[in-house]
Amino acid sequence: MGKFSFEHSFEIDTLKRLIAHHQGKFRHQSLLDLHYRGESLSVTAIELGLQDKPCPTVLFVGGVHGVERIGAQVVLSFLGSLLNRLPWDRHLQALLKEVRLSFVPVANPVGFLQGSRSNGNHVDLMRNAPIDAEEKVTFLVGGHRLTNKLPWYRGKNGMETETKVLVDYVHELQKTSTSVTALDAHSGFGLADHIWFPYAHTKKPFEGMGYIYHLKQLFDRGYPHHGHYKIAPQSHYYQTHGDIWDYLAKANPSDRPFIPLTLEMGSWAWVKKNPRQIFNFSGYFNPQKTHRHHRILRRHVVLMQFLIEAAYANVLENIDTEQLGRLQVDAERHWARNR
Ligand SMILES: [Zn+2]
């Protein structure tokens, strides 16, 4: 761990290759330039689709935690698939005339090179936003300011640059979109595939829960054999300080829907099937066998495709105030029962 190895830059190299290979098909910008042991790194954002007027936006984020490489890979492989389909897929071409798709596949590049959960300052970016839990959090895991030698460290000097640029970028998207749906891909929690939504800092119901309940119903009916996702507020599992998505949900500068979803891929299932992984630290978070790897990469395509189709259909925009009120009541009832 912490040992430099070329293997750890596979995702960064893949991103560079995608950019070189598909130039002209998208816009890309560096949100942040970083230097690590003589390497130049950047937090890169890639955008496809409508640019010059407000539209639904779907944002895919990966690699917030440097050890959870599968998250970056899931985002990169979906991006690669879209770029390869773009020249011939007329439906995708039409979709991109009305929707913006945005990708930040490797949000913590130094963590990737170091092979660490945290960034270069040993700060856990998902505990680093300026928001405190309202109830007591689990010791250490919930975020702490004891020492940067322990994981889940919140940092002492405000937002780390990686956190700040992601927050600023999402604020920009919120201001220029009719809705923003975000999917942030992680791994390492439990056996099942979870989709978490705010809040992580409190047990209070998220104001956007009605929208999520609606999306859940459409997904369940449209893809009845993809019920492997457990969708719930993160606080049903544990509470944390400093969650970036909680902070962004609270600080949304517009009154338009902002739906941040965290995909927590169930990595324990891989450990159970291949117990030797327990002795390999990165094995906790990444499937090791090739066939399993392919299965994970294809397992979430339907979900990601669903999110961009829902954006294209203006599903969130079309919900009126009265319907939203009813959905919110149903949502609160549903998640109060299922906890
Ligand atoms: Zn994570």
- CA 183 to ligand 1 center in whole angstroms: 12
Q: Is 88 exposed, middle or buried (0-12, 13-18, 19+ CB in 10 A)?
A: exposed
- CA 151 to ligand 1 center in whole angstroms: 12
- CA 326 to ligand 1 center in whole angstroms: 33
State residue 85's pLDDT score. 97
The mean pLDDT value for 157-185 works out to 97
State residue 96's pLDDT score. 98
Cα angle 318, 260, 20 (rounded to 5 degrees) comes to: 100
Q: Is 127 exposed, middle or buried (0-12, 13-18, 19+ CB in 10 A)?
A: buried
- CA 188 to ligand 1 center in whole angstroms: 7
- CA 264 to ligand 1 center in whole angstroms: 7
Rounded-to-integer distance, Cα 23 and Cα 156, Å? 40
C-alpha 207: how far from chain center: 19
Rounded-to-integer distance, Cα 108 and Cα 64, Å? 5
Which strand (E) or helix (H) includes residue 32? strand 27-36
| Residue 193 dihedral angles phi and psi, to the nearest 5° | -85, 120
Sketch the domain layout of the chain as residue ranges: 6-337
Given 3.40.50.300, 3.90.800.10, 3.40.630.10, 3.40.190.10, which CATH number is that of 6-337? 3.40.630.10
- CA 64 to ligand 1 center in whole angstroms: 6
**Paired tokens of 326:** 């009813």
State residue 268's pLDDT score. 60
At 254-300, the pLDDT tens digits run 889 999 999 999 876 665 566 555 556 566 667 777 777 888 888 99
At 105-117, the pLDDT tens digits run 999 999 999 889 9
pLDDT surpasses 70 at 250: yes
Q: Mean of the per-residue pLDDT values for the chain?
A: 91
At 53-105, the pLDDT tens digits run 999 999 999 999 999 999 999 999 999 999 999 999 999 999 999 999 999 99
CB-based contact 201:246 (threshold 8 Å): yes
- CA 29 to ligand 1 center in whole angstroms: 24
State residue 280's pLDDT score. 61
pLDDT surpasses 70 at 127: yes
State residue 1's pLDDT score. 41
- CA 252 to ligand 1 center in whole angstroms: 23
The more confident residue out of 310 and 288 is: 310
The mean pLDDT value for 5-11 works out to 63
- CA 322 to ligand 1 center in whole angstroms: 36
At 32-54, the pLDDT tens digits run 999 988 889 999 999 999 999 99
pLDDT surpasses 70 at 333: yes
- CA 265 to ligand 1 center in whole angstroms: 9
Rounded-to-integer distance, Cα 83 and Cα 96, Å? 12
The mean pLDDT value for 204-221 works out to 97
- CA 201 to ligand 1 center in whole angstroms: 16
Q: Looking up tokens 């338009």, which residue turns up?
A: 256
**Paired tokens of 19:** 């950019």
- CA 268 to ligand 1 center in whole angstroms: 14
- CA 111 to ligand 1 center in whole angstroms: 12
* Nearest C-alpha neighbor of 106 from the set 148, 149, 165, 194: 165
- CA 67 to ligand 1 center in whole angstroms: 8
- CA 141 to ligand 1 center in whole angstroms: 12
- CA 127 to ligand 1 center in whole angstroms: 10
Rounded-to-integer distance, Cα 304 and Cα 322, Å? 28
State residue 2's pLDDT score. 42
State residue 278's pLDDT score. 56
- CA 65 to ligand 1 center in whole angstroms: 5
- CA 291 to ligand 1 center in whole angstroms: 23
pLDDT surpasses 80 at 217: yes
The mean pLDDT value for 126-136 works out to 95
- CA 286 to ligand 1 center in whole angstroms: 12
State residue 22's pLDDT score. 95
